[in-house]
Amino acid sequence: MPIDTMIKKAYDLVQKGRIEAIGDELFNVVGEHGTYTVARRIDRTVNCNCLGFVRKGRCSHSLAVLMLTQPALLRTVQKQVSKASYRAESEPRHR
Ligand SMILES: [Zn+2]
């Protein structure tokens, strides 16, 4: 999936409160296809147990945890998302 789609998904997870801290450096992220566990390492990199992360080394879950734990990053993403008049193509809008 393209990077910006992943960023939007991650931002969405943060906004909807889908991230739950279950330990000092351990988070449960409720994604579209299940709940995944994201661990933060001492060097502040993150690790997720979903297939996307295993294959590509990145995913919306781990990105969401990075946003949640780094307010400066979240603010940057917030600006980008509001500028791009945020609308998720994959989700049909309810009227
Ligand atoms: Zn993941």
Residue 54 lies in a domain: yes
HEC profile for the chain?
Answer: CCHHHHHHHHHHHHHCCCEEEEECCEEEEEECCEEEEEEECCCCCEEECCHHHHHHCCCHHHHHHHHHHCHHHHHHHHHHHHHCCCCCCCCCCCC
Distance 95 CA to ligand 1 centre (A): 31
pLDDT along the chain (95 residues), means of 10: 84 97 96 94 92 94 96 94 65 60
Residues lining ion ligand 1 (Cβ < 5 A) are 36, 48, 50, 53, 59, 61
Residue 55 lies in a domain: yes
Residue 87 lies in a domain: no
Entry pTM: 0.82
Residue 20 lies in a domain: yes
The domain of 7 spans 3-81
- pLDDT for 94 equals 63
Residue 94 lies in a domain: no
Domain count, the chain: 1
- pLDDT for 81 equals 85
Distance 83 CA to ligand 1 centre (A): 26
Residue 56 lies in a domain: yes
